[in-house]
C-alpha cells in the first residue's frame, strides 16, 4: 500500500498540465478556481508517483468509483481539499479522504452520525471532522458513495487510520493493515 499526500498550492499548473493524460488535463482545465485545478492535478500526479508510471486509462463503476480496466487487483482512490491532495494505491479496496478541520455542522451531525458517534463528537470540531473523513474514506472504499449510511460502529472487516496534518484530517480505509502516509513534493525536479 502506498499513501501519498502533498500541499499543492505552489504547484506549477502549466508544468503539471504537461504531466497528465489528456482526459485529466481537460478535467482540470474545466475547473474555474485555480485552487481546485491545482488539487485535481496534484492528486493525479501523486497517483502517477504511486503506480510508478503514467497512469493507464481510468474507467468508473456505475456508482462512480474509479478503476484501472485490466489492471487486476490494483485499486486506488484520490482526494483533495483546501491546500492538499492525496492518493492511496493498494491490492485491495481502499478509500481516502482529507478534510479541513471545521465547525460542527448540526444538520450533518443529525443526518449522518449515529447516536454513539454524536456522543463521541461532543463539542470537538476535530472529532467531528475525523469521523466525517473516516466515513468518506469508507464509502469511497466500498464504491457506494454516501447512499450507504456509514455508522462506523457497525462497520466490520475494515481498518481505519487517521492523521492530523496541520489543520486537516487525512483518513484511509482498507481491508487490511494501513501503512503510514508519505508527504511528497510536486516539482519539476520529480520528472
CATH number for the domain that contains residue 98: 3.90.470.20
Per the domain annotation, does 19 fall within a domain?
Answer: yes
Per the domain annotation, does 190 fall within a domain?
Answer: no
Q: What is the tally of helices (H) and strands (E) in the chain?
A: 6, 9
Output the pLDDT for position 62: 82
The total number of structural domains that make up the chain: 1
Per the domain annotation, does 26 fall within a domain?
Answer: yes
Residue 39: all three cell numbers together? 488539487
Per the domain annotation, does 38 fall within a domain?
Answer: yes
User: What is the dihedral sign for C-alpha 96, 100, 101, 107?
Assistant: negative
Mean pLDDT of the chain: 89
Output the pLDDT for position 146: 55
Per the domain annotation, does 135 fall within a domain?
Answer: yes
Per the domain annotation, does 33 fall within a domain?
Answer: yes
Q: What percent of the chain has pLDDT over 70?
A: 94
Residue linked to cell 485499486:
75
Per the domain annotation, does 146 fall within a domain?
Answer: yes
Per the domain annotation, does 189 fall within a domain?
Answer: no
Q: Rounded to an integer, what distance in angstroms lies between the CA atom of residue 118 and that of residue 191? A: 46
The helix (H) or strand (E) run that includes residue 45 is: helix 34-51
Output the pLDDT for position 65: 82
Determine whether 30 is exposed, middle or buried from the number of CB atoms within 10 Å of its CB (0-12, 13-18, 19+): exposed
pLDDT band at 148; cut points 50, 70, 90: low
Domain extent at residue 154: 2-184
Q: Is the pLDDT of residue 71 over 70?
A: no
Residue 38: all three cell numbers together? 491545482
For 157, residues 6+ apart whose C-beta sits below 8 A from its C-beta are 175
Q: Is the pLDDT of residue 172 over 90?
A: yes
Amino acid at each position: 500500500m502506498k499513501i501519498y499526500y502533498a500541499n499543492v498550492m505552489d504547484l506549477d499548473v502549466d508544468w503539471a498540465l504537461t504531466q497528465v493524460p489528456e482526459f485529466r488535463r481537460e478535467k482540470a482545465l474545466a475547473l474555474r478556481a485555480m485552487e481546485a485545478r491545482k488539487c485535481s492535478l496534484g492528486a493525479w500526479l501523486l497517483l502517477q508517483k504511486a503506480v510508478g508510471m503514467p497512469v493507464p486509462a481510468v474507467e468508473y463503476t456505475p456508482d462512480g468509483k474509479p478503476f484501472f480496466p485490466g489492471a487486476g487487483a490494483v485499486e486506488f482512490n484520490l482526494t483533495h481539499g483546501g491546500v492538499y491532495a492525496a492518493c492511496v494505491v493498494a491490492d485491495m479496496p481502499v478509500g481516502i479522504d482529507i478534510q479541513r478541520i471545521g465547525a460542527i455542522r448540526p444538520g450533518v451531525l443529525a443526518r449522518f452520525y449515529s447516536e454513539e458517534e454524536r456522543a463521541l463528537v461532543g463539542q470537538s470540531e476535530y472529532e467531528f471532522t475525523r469521523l466525517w473523513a473516516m466515513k468518506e474514506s469508507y464509502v469511497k472504499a466500498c464504491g457506494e458513495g454516501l447512499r450507504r449510511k456509514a455508522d462506523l460502529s457497525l462497520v466490520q472487516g475494515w481498518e481505519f487510520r487517521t492523521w492530523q496534518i496541520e489543520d486537516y484530517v487525512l483518513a484511509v480505509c482498507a481491508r487490511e493493515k494501513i501503512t503510514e502516509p508519505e508527504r511528497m513534493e510536486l516539482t519539476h525536479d520529480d520528472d
